[in-house]
Amino acid sequence: MKGIMISCMVLAFIAAIFYLLLGAGVITAGSQMGTPVTRAFIIVAGGCYIFGGLLILAKKRWLWIIGIVMNTLVMAVFFIMYSKNPAVIFSLPGLGTKIPQIILEVGLVYLIATYQRRSIVAENP
């Protein structure tokens, strides 16, 4: 379980790195340059993924559930916004954020499904 948690944290960090690079203007998504407000929002998203990645290690099921809901929301908004613009979806930042996020979703589902509380484990030796 510890290995899955660390893997999920690393995936969140990978997504965060791509968000931070996109927000800093180092990489671009197709022809989308973004306004300063958009870039600030993207940088905040990167920070949220760093913070969320660290929260995975807290071993709190309710945090994992919140994380999976928020991650799903981020991906849904992205695909709704850019559904008619495949250049953004298949760009380096598009794939660099969405691939780790999809794998992160699977990892969080696994953690949530297999998590057992310590009290239950202690009662049944």
Closest Cα partner for 81 from 69, 71, 94, 68? 94
Structure tokens at 33: 């340059």
- The model's pTM is 0.86
pLDDT in tens, 78-120: 899 888 988 888 989 889 999 999 999 999 999 999 988 654 5
Separation of alpha carbons 17 and 11, rounded Å: 10
Q: How many domains does the chain have?
A: 1
| Predicted local distance difference test score (pLDDT) of residue 31 | 65
How would residue 34 be classed by pLDDT, with cut points 50, 70 and 90?
low
Inter-CA distances, 67 with 31, 34, 37, 96, 100, Å: 30, 26, 24, 19, 14
Separation of alpha carbons 111 and 98, rounded Å: 20
- CA torsion 2→6→76→115, rounded to 10°? 10
Domain that holds residue 89: 2-123
pLDDT in tens, 36-84: 778 888 899 999 999 999 999 999 999 999 999 999 999 999 899 888 9
| Predicted local distance difference test score (pLDDT) of residue 87 | 86
